[in-house]
Structure 1
Amino acid sequence: MKKFLLDKTPKLDFKKALKKPIPIKCIQIDEPFQVESIEGLVTGKAGDWLMIGINGEKYICDNAIFHKTYDIID
């Protein structure tokens, strides 16, 4: 079994990929909250985002990560 370590990039022939621009539903929640997700019950902080994915799955996105990876569309 191959093992990949956290602090070492393996010498493999990596390809580049771009995430598809698939719209999802999201809302910023202004108080601590819990969501039943596919990973089980998870807790979000005030300011985190409740996301609903393309298959209806619910998950939480940290506010700082949200702003680095998503743009709100109208």
Structure 2
Amino acid sequence: MKYRKKPIVVEAIRWTGDNGKEIEAFCGTDVMFGTIYEPDPVSAACIHTLNGKMYARPGDYIIKGVNGEFYPCKPDVFAKTYEAVEE
């Protein structure tokens, strides 16, 4: 069988590597910042997801899911999956 993703609206923010205050305001206590070293040192946002810790690198989006959970998403996947909504 084939399935189509239901049309839902999510909130998201892009991690630029220097907008930590904005990310903290969005995620609250579900985010921490640090450095990861694979393959090269880069600043990272550590997101506490329903599946454990996941890391957002600069350029990645952080999405707030339908149940209030947060998770990172690569920009190419984000562009294929989501479009801007006018409020």
5+ residue gaps, structure 2:
18-43
How many matched pairs?
Answer: 60
Q: Which amino acid aligns with 1:25?
A: E
5+ residue gaps, structure 1:
1-14
Identity %: 32
Give how far 1:69 is off.
1.2
Name the structure where strand makes up a greater proportion of residues: 2
Which of 57, 61, 72 aligns to 1:45? It is 57
Name the structure where helix makes up a greater proportion of residues: 2
- TM-score normalized by structure 2? 0.64
Give how far 1:24 is off.
0.8
Over 3 Å off, 4+ runs: none
Question: Higher relative CO (CA 8 A, sep ≥ 6), structure 1 or 2?
Answer: 2
Give how far 1:54 is off.
0.6
Deviations 1:1-57 (A, max 9, x none): xxxxxxxxxxxxxx2221110111101110121111111111111010010011001
- TM-score normalized by structure 1? 0.74
Answer yes or no: is 1:68 the counterpart of 2:80: yes
